[in-house]
Structure 1
Amino acid sequence: MNLPLHVLLVMDNAPAHPPDLQDDLLEEFKFIKIQFLPPNTTLLLQPLDKQVISKFKKLYTKALFERCFEVTEATNLTLKEFRKYHFHIVACLKMIEKAWEGVTKRTLTSAWKKLWPESIVEHDFEGYEIAPVEPVVNKIVSLAKIMGLEVDNNDIDELVEEQSQELTTEELMELHCVSQQEVVEESLSEEEEEEVTAKQQSSGAIREMLKAWETVASYIEKHHPNKAVDMCATNLFNDNAVSHFHQILKHRQKQMSLDSYLVKKI
């Protein structure tokens, strides 16, 4: 319509937002007008809180369950293994993108209807209501049951409701500490399992196996017609299997040296 470009950026009154943000805008962005909401009115005024965030969270949960189902169904991984090896930042960002794309213009328009009806042309929102999210919730519940989880519609609603408030800095730091502790405990648990397994193997048996492997590798290297294939296969086996047993012996040698040193000191 050949109108000049004007943008109104409405922001909540969070302390993280610089109050002089408007003055800090570069000259090329002066067409943007920043309007902060009054303090303690976010829940009443912020349009995104009018079911938009709720729908986004349900769409994100649906994307998460779909991804979880795809991975576990194709690989027979457990849910714990999925969380450990496949639930990372990049995967989360992709699911966030997918979920946000699922939030329709109709939903966003409805969010502004009660707050600022004059900003929307009448026929743009007349008769608009928030699109029902029950099909999304039903899909989540269906996927959960396929994966053997006891989940119903109320569980999904409670999950979204529990996350309705933004976390404080202290709560985020506490969650980070808990997460770090879980990583440490899980790492220690794995090391203990490996140590128990290693203790079941004597150093003599491991050396005997390694010597046998050297004999086999030497024979293959000498008689295999394709040197490239021989080298590739030997290196692959060394890196993925034999190195584990070398590490066991190396660790035991270090431990023996340390024990010997401590005994001498005492």
Structure 2
Amino acid sequence: MLGHDIEDYDAPKRKRKMLNIAEKVKLLDMLKEGRSYAAVGHHYGINESSVRSIKKEENNIRKTAAISFNKDAKRVVTVQVEDFGPSTSADHAVTSRFNASKGWFQKFQKRFGLKNVLLHGEAASANTAGAEAYVNNKFKAIIEEGGYKPEQVFNMDETGLFWKRMPSRTFIMQEEAKAPGFKAQKDRLTLVMCGNAAGFMIKPGLIYRSKNPRAMKNKNMDALPVYWMHNAKAWMTKALNLDWFKQCFIPEVKRYLREKGLDFKVLLLLDNAGGHADDLSYDSVQIEFLPPSTTSLIQPLDQGIIRAFKALYTHNTLQQLVDAVDSDQDFSLKDYWRGYTIASCLQNIQRAIQEMKPETLNACWKKLWPEAVQTPNGGSLDDIHHSTVDTAVNLAKQLGGDGFNDMTLDDINALIDAHTHPLTDEDLTEKKNSSSRINTLMLKVMRTYTL
């Protein structure tokens, strides 16, 4: 033992790892998404104290990242022009202001790990001072003046979900990537989550690209575990926000408060996302928008709930595959996955919501409304996330096959993180063209049979 201790003492110290600005921004985003200091430190090969030091400098780091991007985006570029005839030197080099498309910007973000940079120069940093002032002054005054109970105070937020996606290294994803047409792994929906300070979640809203998918044929849409909405891009708009508010939120909350024996007096908290309507109105419902750039600090649903939900959804999807293997000796993972539809997705969404305990959801209000939290240290969402990811890895190894039998924690976490990435313009165009081709083919078949 003594020799071992001396050997450790005399061993050369590990070289200190230096992170660049893009890596630091990505590290901060990982913390924002609910990962622990220890987990993030392990990911980057640095100790926990270094992670905490970077967190303390978050405002400066994000400002630097925003400034760096703006300088790069405003640079003057030289464009080579093809020679079609007699020309001067001025014809070969054209100096112009750089204009980036939305798709280019998204690829730039992905390449450099920049998730919160704004195009118009606004510092992409959390408004710590504004959040503290809101919690200690305005929010406290709203609660006192309204006499609200935790059961009457709700928060809504939405998130993207690539509902039919596995880690990219798995053979079913690799094979699909080679196939022509729009890829199922790019099929994205928007989930609208809403819960109160007592730890109750109402039926989630779901926005999909189709009003009546084939897999939902002959199903009672009113009996689904979600409130179904649709538009071509499957994302939140002000019109859909108003629809969700009137047709889902109001009746769900009325039913809940009636069962609790409480008056219908409600406070609904929203962030300032562009798709949120600013004209929501209903008797006895107060709408309150959180200050800009404070959602990562005080919005309850942003304190790990959404990330834990995605981990549970991934786990449930893998569990469903393993259960199918156990029940069918002739099981084919490729065939089963081909038959995994949006109806299957709804089952796993419902399970994930049900598996989130009320005391855990209640604890996520401690930054905004600490007085409403019953057990501040109970049922950590960070613990739920890590244990769920561990189980998901084990389930993947039970499935076996390339990319499954050597699944890692990082693979599952990368899949969970991927849900936050929006589709590019190219993806949306590909989806639209693929749908057009399918519709054309179906029309030809119908004409053939008619003739």
TM-score, normalising length: structure 1? 0.56
For structure 1, which runs of at least 5 residues remain unmatched after alignment?
Answer: 187-249, 251-266
CA distance in 1, matches of 2:376, 2:298: 21
What residue is the counterpart of 2:377 in the other structure? Answer: 127
Question: How far apart are residue 136 of structure 1 and its match?
Answer: 1.8
Worse overlay, 55-64 or 36-45: 36-45
CA distance in 2, matches of 1:94, 1:66: 12
Judge conservation of contact 1:107–1:129 (CA < 8 Å) in 2.
yes
For structure 2, which runs of at least 5 residues remain unmatched after alignment?
Answer: 1-259, 439-447
The answer to whether structure 1 residue 32 and structure 2 residue 285 are counterparts is yes
What residue is the counterpart of 2:413 in the other structure? Answer: 157
Q: Summarize the Cα distance change of 1:155–1:44 in structure 2 as closer, same or farther, 3 Å threshold.
A: same
SS at match of 1:57: helix
The answer to whether structure 1 residue 16 and structure 2 residue 275 are counterparts is yes
Judge conservation of contact 1:113–1:125 (CA < 8 Å) in 2.
no
Q: Deviations over 1:193-239 (max 9, x none)?
A: xxxxxxxxxxxxxxxxxxxxxxxxxxxxxxxxxxxxxxxxxxxxxxx
Query: Which has the greater radius of gyration?
Result: 1
Among 352, 355, 360, the residue aligned to 1:102: 355
What residue is the counterpart of 1:41 in the other structure? Answer: 294
**How many correspondences in the alignment?**
176
CA distance in 2, matches of 1:49, 1:43: 6
Q: Deviations over 1:120-158 (max 9, x none)?
A: 05xx12433515223322221111001111212222222
CA distance in 1, matches of 2:302, 2:390: 22
TM-score, normalising length: structure 2? 0.35
SS at match of 1:33: strand
Q: Summarize the Cα distance change of 1:139–1:129 in structure 2 as closer, same or farther, 3 Å threshold.
A: closer
Judge conservation of contact 1:51–1:130 (CA < 8 Å) in 2.
no
Judge conservation of contact 2:298–2:367 (CA < 8 Å) in 1.
no
CA distance in 1, matches of 2:274, 2:314: 29
What residue is the counterpart of 1:113 in the other structure? Answer: 366
- Percent of aligned positions with the same letter in both sequences? 32
Question: How far apart are residue 177 of structure 1 and its match?
Answer: 4.5
SS at match of 2:364: helix
* Greater relative CO, 1 or 2 (CA 8 Å, sep 6+): 2
Q: Deviations over 1:88-147 (max 9, x none)?
A: 1111011100001111112211211122213x05xx124335152233222211110011
Among 53, 78, 99, the residue aligned to 2:332: 78
What residue is the counterpart of 2:397 in the other structure? Answer: 145
Q: CA RMSD in A?
A: 3.3
What pairs up with 1:223-242 in 2 under 5 angstroms? none
CA distance in 2, matches of 1:185, 1:151: 36
SS at match of 1:114: coil
CA distance in 1, matches of 2:357, 2:337: 29
SS at match of 1:68: helix
CA distance in 2, matches of 1:157, 1:38: 30
SS at match of 2:291: coil
Q: Summarize the Cα distance change of 1:97–1:152 in structure 2 as closer, same or farther, 3 Å threshold.
A: same
Judge conservation of contact 1:58–1:137 (CA < 8 Å) in 2.
yes
Judge conservation of contact 1:137–1:156 (CA < 8 Å) in 2.
yes
What residue is the counterpart of 2:31 in the other structure? Answer: none
Letter in 2 for 1:154: D
Letter in 1 for 2:387: P
CA distance in 1, matches of 2:335, 2:428: 20
What residue is the counterpart of 1:93 in the other structure? Answer: 346
SS at match of 1:17: coil
SS at match of 1:10: strand
SS at match of 2:268: strand
Q: Summarize the Cα distance change of 1:98–1:154 in structure 2 as closer, same or farther, 3 Å threshold.
A: same
CA distance in 1, matches of 2:437, 2:338: 13
CA distance in 1, matches of 2:273, 2:338: 34
Q: Summarize the Cα distance change of 1:77–1:178 in structure 2 as closer, same or farther, 3 Å threshold.
A: farther
Question: How far apart are residue 65 of structure 1 and its match?
Answer: 0.3
Letter in 1 for 2:411: D
Letter in 2 for 1:62: H
The answer to whether structure 1 residue 68 and structure 2 residue 321 are counterparts is yes
SS at match of 1:35: strand
Higher strand share: 2
CA distance in 1, matches of 2:434, 2:332: 18
CA distance in 2, matches of 1:181, 1:81: 25
CA distance in 2, matches of 1:72, 1:173: 38
